[in-house]
Structure 1
Amino acid sequence: MIDLNGKKVVVTGGTRGIGRAIVLSLAGAGADVITCARGDGEAAQSLARELKELGGDHHVLKADVGEPEDIRRLAEEARTRFGRVDVVVHNAGVISHIPFEELPLEEWNRVLGTNLTSAYTLLQSMLPLLPEGASVINIGSRVATIGIPMRAHYTASKAGLIGFTRSAAKEFGSRRLRINVVAPGPIETEADVPAAVRERYERMIPLGRLGRSEEIAGAVLFLASDLSSFVNGETIHVDGGI
């Protein structure tokens, strides 16, 4: 079992789906976790209750990673509460399905800003808090290297995240920082998957099923731990072999 006792962690987009599973897995392994989401509704409140039951020094904050000032405020919260950050998991993101010829510039900018530019802002804001040996984990997507119709903007943002991660890993390796991507394939979340879509994915995936959020969290736990101390600049696909 992976032991993260004493680790200080920041997770963006941690109240639903994959992000929530990541937060609960990290906290369950002993880490102290600050997470954020754009809203402070029931999802955030129920997560706060679950974290309280687990024990530890956990905080659920309201912050929109598409807003640079919110990211800087998140970093300041981490500095004030923890003093350092051993693990950063950048999970927050948005997606939409729009034919390319109908794709407005505003939506392109929204998706690229939330999914890619935020990774730059987050890493730059967190750098002063990252000690030697810290791990930064960006949550990407399997579509980054294969593409998918009506998601040119989303695919571009996730492909850019791979390039950003590779360059940052090389630049900050001398500081002993590790920066990697976890790229999920089709995953079961709270959103209902139409039967036709589910059947198509099940035919495409050699394991014959969609993944679970906890299986993405497992890869994150590995990268957050010392078991991955020589893994840097990599994209780990968790996709059932699709």
Structure 2
Amino acid sequence: MSTTTPASVTTPATTQRVAIVTGGSRGIGRAVVDRLVADGHAVAIAFAGNQAAADSAVEAVRAAGGRAIAVRADVADENAVSALFDLVEQTFGGVDVVVHAAGRMDLAPLAQLDLDVLDQLHRTNVRGTFVVDQQAVRRLRSGGALVNFSSSVIGLAFPGYAAYAASKGAVEAMTLVLAREVRGRDITVNAVAPGPTATELFLEGKDEETLARLAAQPPLERLGTAEDIAGVVAFLAGPAGRWVNGQVLRANGGII
């Protein structure tokens, strides 16, 4: 595990809320990091392999006057995830918010998907969520929030998405059960299920006709933005969202 730790975050601060964002170096995860920092959180950015993107995210947080570290961790590796939480507790004094945005998407018709790819997809999306959530509920302080990521594709049922949608169905099941398992601890557990969102990864390989068709589907007649989704996460992580628990919020502009 490699880390990037600015000198300004070496002294724990127990009064500031602290968030861990997996998949926080790019896309929706990066927007969540920026929003949580703007809302006053210190943030640990967990990433899988792109050190440069993680370093860039940390630098942006520091430039905005915030506090952040970047930690490389495979979300499906229980030892790496435990070490991630250990480092965050040592650096910032505790954990108040966990946003599990890391995930993998492999698309193919069910009849054609390689089963090795299916296993890898489920290792990241299903086992990874279980591992991160397990550490989260063991470590979150009272008043904490756990936010998982599902997908509106579960309802949209796009051809080619069977394996991915199945993995996100598992995420929703875990979220709803876990919200009830932490009864009495003042911890909320929810999931956000974005619709088509104009991230770099989503836009890659799609022609203008395809993007126009996707943008026309919701009544709001546009694609979502990473900032749209980050706003929903910030609501669930903040004081205004404390009475929302055990829910899946479909942030998709009304597409379903």
Bin for the TM-score computed over the shorter chain: over 0.9
Superposed counterparts of 1:177-196, under 5 Å: 177-191=187-201, 192=203, 193-196=206-209
The one-letter amino acid of 2:234's match is L
Q: Secondary structure at the match of 2:71?
A: strand
Counterpart for residue 62 of structure 1: 72
Residues 1:116 and 2:129 are matched in the alignment: no
Counterpart for residue 249 of structure 2: 236
CA distance in 2, matches of 1:14, 1:229: 23
Q: Taking every aligned residue pair, what percent have the same amino acid on both sides?
A: 35
CA drift of 1:144 comes to 2.0
The one-letter amino acid of 2:226's match is S
CA distance in 2, matches of 1:39, 1:117: 18
Counterpart for residue 211 of structure 1: 224
Q: Secondary structure at the match of 2:193?
A: strand
**Structure 2: which 5+ residue stretches go unaligned?**
1-14
Q: Match for 2:240 among 227, 230, 233?
A: 227
Residues 1:6 and 2:19 are matched in the alignment: no
CA distance in 2, matches of 1:240, 1:124: 31
CA distance in 1, matches of 2:32, 2:228: 9
Per the normalisation by structure 2, the TM-score is: 0.88
CA contact (8 A) 1:40 1:61 kept: no
The one-letter amino acid of 1:50's match is A
**Cα deviation code 1:158-195 (max 9, x no counterpart):** 11111110000011122121000111000011133421
CA distance in 2, matches of 1:141, 1:124: 21
CA drift of 1:52 comes to 1.1
CA contact (8 A) 1:145 1:159 kept: no
Q: Secondary structure at the match of 1:75?
A: helix
**Cα deviation code 1:55-80 (max 9, x no counterpart):** 23310111121333221221111222
- Which range moves more in the overlay, 28-37 or 186-195? 186-195
CA distance in 2, matches of 1:136, 1:27: 17
The one-letter amino acid of 1:218's match is G
Residues 1:87 and 2:87 are matched in the alignment: no
The one-letter amino acid of 1:208's match is E
**Structure 1: which 5+ residue stretches go unaligned?**
none
Counterpart for residue 176 of structure 1: 186
Q: Secondary structure at the match of 2:249?
A: strand
Q: Secondary structure at the match of 1:201?
A: helix
Q: Secondary structure at the match of 1:39?
A: coil
CA distance in 2, matches of 1:171, 1:240: 31
Counterpart for residue 162 of structure 1: 172
**Cα deviation code 1:124-166 (max 9, x no counterpart):** 1233321221100001110123322112110001111111100
RMSD between aligned residues: 1.4
Q: Secondary structure at the match of 1:102?
A: coil
**Cα deviation code 1:28-65 (max 9, x no counterpart):** 11100001111243312211210111223310111121
CA distance in 2, matches of 1:136, 1:87: 6
Counterpart for residue 5 of structure 2: none
CA contact (8 A) 1:148 1:155 kept: no
CA distance in 1, matches of 2:107, 2:47: 22
The one-letter amino acid of 2:16's match is G
CA distance in 2, matches of 1:74, 1:134: 17
Q: Which runs of 4+ in 1 moved over 3 A?
A: none
Counterpart for residue 131 of structure 1: 141
CA distance in 2, matches of 1:113, 1:142: 20
Per the normalisation by structure 1, the TM-score is: 0.93
CA drift of 1:240 comes to 0.8
Counterpart for residue 36 of structure 2: 26
